[in-house]
Amino acid sequence: TQLLEQSPQFLSIQEGENLTVYCNSSSVFSSLQWYRQEPGEGPVLLVTVVTGGEVKKLKRLTFQFGDARKDSSLHITAAQPGDTGLYLCADIIQGAQKLVFGQGTRLTINP
Amino acid sequence: GAGVSQSPRYKVAKRGQDVALRCDPISGHVSLFWYQQALGQGPEFLTYFQNEAQLDKSGLPSDRFFAERPEGSVSTLKIQRTQQEDSAVYLCASSLGGESYNEQFFGPGTRLTVL
């Protein structure tokens, strides 16, 4: 059974600072997704990465997929209070259609 | 709104009661998924429908959990004889379906508290 470990579990920083959170898998990812979930809402997809070494940018967010496709990082530049939320990584289980999620990193950006 | 909707948003049940949670997927979406999210954890897969057919129920934790989608649209997750460990947020997601993976869109969830 695939296990996804996210670190840190909790992170609280000041507005304007930079941060990086990590996702590591016990096995090679099929396709890795990053989601953000706000309180009282469902997860919202941020990005999907497929190729080892791939880097994708979404405004102030930079997503990196490890060369061996077993790890990923999410870097946020100049964090804003609106970035607050639970960041989840997930693997797409091909053929089974379902997602396997990590436990998430709970990020708080203080004004 | 054209998103996934779930009802009720909050449900409090006494231990031993039966509950029914409803999911209205995005119109035209063939696939529907249920996930369970315990406090402080990521979502865990429960079951998956393609139209009215339940193709995967491997994540249902016990035979007290039952899901249906009789007309291939609205789905209901039923939990019989609720236990305290059933307390969680139950998320529904839908997607266009098909042989290859399509993005899943999540509803806001139903928060179930079993006393």
In this structure, what token pair is assigned to residue B11? 């449900």
In this structure, what token pair is assigned to residue B46? 């429960």
Distance, CA of A36 to CA of B105 (rounded, Å): 12
Distance, CA of A33 to CA of B67 (rounded, Å): 26
Which of B104, B105, B111 to mutate: most A Cβ within 10 Å? B104
Distance, CA of A98 to CA of B36 (rounded, Å): 13
In this structure, what token pair is assigned to residue B36? 């369970």
If pLDDT is split at 50, 70 and 90, which confidence band does A38 have? very high
Q: Which residues of B9-40 are buried (b: 16+ CB within 10 A; e: fewer)?
A: eebebeeeeebebebbbbeebebbbbbbbeee
- Spatial CA neighbour of B11 closest among B67, B77, B62: B77
How far is the alpha carbon of B31 from chain A, nearest alpha carbon, in Å?
A: 9
Chain length of chain B = 115
Out of B48, B59, B108, name the one closest to residue A97 (CB): B48
Which of B101, B105, B111 to mutate: most A Cβ within 10 Å? B101
Q: What is the mean pLDDT of chain A?
A: 95
C-beta atoms of A103 and B59 within 8 A: no
C-beta atoms of A96 and B44 within 8 A: no
Distance, CA of A60 to CA of A76 (rounded, Å): 6
pLDDT score, position B24: 98
pLDDT score, position A93: 87
pLDDT score, position B62: 94
Angle at B56 between CA B50 and CA B71, to 5 degrees: 35
Amino acid at B39: L
pLDDT score, position B66: 97
Residue A48 has pLDDT above 60, yes or no: yes
Distance, CA of B82 to CA of B18 (rounded, Å): 6
How far is the alpha carbon of A10 from chain B, nearest alpha carbon, in Å?
A: 10
User: What Å distances lie between residue A30 and A52, A73, A83, B115, CA to CA?
Assistant: 11, 16, 27, 39
- For A74-98, the pLDDT digits (tens) are 999 999 999 999 999 999 987 778 9
Out of B42, B59, B108, name the one closest to residue A42 (CB): B108
Q: What's the average model confidence in pLDDT over A21-29?
A: 94
Hey, which residues 15-74 in chain A have their CB within 8 Å of chain B? 31, 40-45
Cis preceding-peptide flag for B108 (omega within 30 of 0): no
pLDDT score, position B1: 56
pLDDT score, position A94: 77
Pairing of the two strands A105-110 and A10-14: parallel
C-beta atoms of A101 and B40 within 8 A: no
Task: Give the mean pLDDT per block of 10 residues along chain B (115 residues).
Answer: 92 98 96 96 96 95 97 97 98 88 94 98
Element (DSSP H or E) covering residue B101? none
Residue A4 has pLDDT above 80, yes or no: yes
Distance, CA of B58 to CA of B61 (rounded, Å): 8
- Whether the CB of A100 is below 8 Å from some CB of chain B: the reply is yes
